[in-house]
Amino acid sequence: MTTPLPALSFCVIEDTALFLDLARDHYFRLPETANAAFLASLINGVAFAPALHSAGLDQFVSLAPLRAQGGGIHPVEAADLQGCGFSPSLIARALWDQRAIERRLARRGLHTVLSELRSVLCSRHARRPFGAEHAALVKAFEDAGLVRSAVDRCLPRSIALARLMAKSDCACQVIIGVKLRPFAAHCWVQAGHLLLNESVEEAARYKPILIL
């Protein structure tokens, strides 16, 4: 049985804690004093109840312990899509699934959709290495961006891609990352050390705040 997805996650960048409240689809940081108290209360990167109390995050105390995100993710290279042809049927599937995820996010909210995704990603027991079939799916999502712009749609695009990859028995992770100055958030999919729908250079600009 999959452990429920907490409604709060966080990472630390340059001595600043950044939080993602999944229930409200809201990123936030703490006032300077509360941030210092929170960081001082972390134990090996884990926020127990006292750390959340010290930061004034009493509403999230029941979620403790929460571990800072960002470790263990080391993308090395982008997936090789050379040799993948242009597939109208796969492109249509990519567009359809992305629109379906957009509608579901609007109706059900971020926490529910990501909880469902986590269950899908964890429920697949047979794992196959990334191969030609999976590369064709990734290429279809890339080509779909020529039909419908992928700008500001990284989240539904990544969720839709990850679901199809999981259904094809390829282990993958969806990663939401953030950067501090200026603040920005981004989302992409990885299969091990392979980046599927982002460049290594772009992903390196962000620190993971949620890893599924």
Share of the chain above pLDDT 70, in %: 95
Q: Are 195 and 206 in contact (CB under 8 A)?
A: no
Q: Are 192 and 74 in contact (CB under 8 A)?
A: no
Of 176 and 149, the one with more pLDDT? 176
Of 210 and 70, the one with more pLDDT? 210
- The domain segmentation of the chain, as residue ranges, is 8-67, 77-211
Q: Is the pLDDT of residue 129 over 90?
A: no
* pLDDT number for residue 72: 66
pLDDT confidence band for 16 (50 / 70 / 90): very high
Quick one: which of 199, 203, 195, 130 has its CA closest to 165?
Answer: 130
pLDDT confidence band for 126 (50 / 70 / 90): low
* pLDDT number for residue 3: 73
In angstroms, the first-to-last Cα distance of the chain is: 15
- DSSP β-bridge partners for residue 46: 43, 67
Q: Is the pLDDT of residue 1 over 60?
A: no
Mean pLDDT of 51-59: 93
d(CA 94, CA 29): 35
Tokens of 106: 């609007």
- Tell me the pLDDT of the chain averaged across its residues: 90
Give the helix ranges, DSSP H, for the chain. 32-41, 49-54, 88-108, 110-123, 132-147, 154-167, 200-203
Tokens of 43: 């134990």
pLDDT confidence band for 170 (50 / 70 / 90): confident
Q: Is the pLDDT of residue 19 over 60?
A: yes
CA dist 112 to 3, 5, 89, 121, 210, Å? Answer: 14, 9, 29, 14, 14
- The verdict on whether omega for the bond into residue 129 sits within 30 degrees of 0, i.e. cis, is no
